[in-house]
Copies of this chain bind each other. A is one copy, B any other.
Amino acid sequence: MLTAIYTAVGELVGQGADKISFPVIAERAGVNPTTLYRRWPDVNALLEDVAIAALTRDGESVPDTGSLEQDLTDWANIIAGDITRPERARYLRAMVAARVDLVTNCAVTDARHEQAAQMTRRASERGEQTPTVQQILDHIVAPLYYNVIFALPLDDDHPRRLVRDVLAMTR
């Protein structure tokens, strides 16, 4: 049932639907609207759950090439390729639009944090100089998401440039 609901929301968001209400979602998913009212306080909360599920379900594997520069470049390219897909970009915008108060944790950020920590841990073990996880989030992840969320074009070389910049900080 959850899958039907998430799919319905995904389709509605994907079609750029203007009015996404519990009744509209329920009809599309073939469930009773009361199911939705019981489970989520409002549409935004449901929208956010769907967005997080969509943005983190991939189980992306973290690159392990033996060089931090290559790992980060591959990783930045995976992220860029993923979030620039029109459907994902729309999800992302719907997700942030649904946020009103400060969040203490964010599934998207948490996943990126964990992946960055894996890569820097391996690099440290190989004796490489590494930026901090926070620097990777600030200087690779943030600019990629910023461009996509603002609907600004992201050129093919952008991920590699960001990696080069963050590594230059540690020298």
Q: Chain A interface (Cβ within 8 Å of chain B)?
A: 16, 90, 93-94, 96-97, 99-104, 106, 108-109, 135, 137-139, 141-143, 145-147, 149-153, 161-162, 165, 168-169
Copies held by the complex:
2
Q: Are B106 and A150 in contact (CB under 8 A)?
A: yes
* Residues of B contacting A152 in the complex (Cβ-Cβ under 8 angstroms): 102-103, 106, 109
Partner of A96, one of B102, B109, B150: B150
For A168, the closest partner residue in chain B by CB is: B169
15 additional A-B pairs beyond A109-B150, A142-B143, beta carbons within 8 Å, are A93-B99, A96-B96, A96-B150, A101-B151, A102-B153, A103-B151, A137-B143, A138-B143, A141-B146, A142-B142, A142-B147, A143-B146, A146-B149, A149-B149, A168-B169
Of the A-B pairs whose beta carbons lie under 8 Å apart in the complex, a sample of 22, sorted by A's number, is: A93-B97, A94-B97, A96-B96, A96-B149, A96-B150, A96-B151, A101-B151, A102-B151, A103-B150, A106-B152, A108-B150, A135-B165, A137-B143, A138-B165, A139-B139, A139-B165, A141-B146, A142-B143, A143-B143, A143-B146, A146-B146, A169-B169
| Interface of chain A: mostly helix, strand, loop or mixed | helix
Of all A-B residue pairs in the complex, the 8 with the closest CB atoms, nearest first, are A97-B97, A142-B146, A142-B143, A99-B151, A138-B143, A168-B169, A103-B151, A142-B142
Q: Chain B contacts of A141 at CB under 8 A?
A: 146
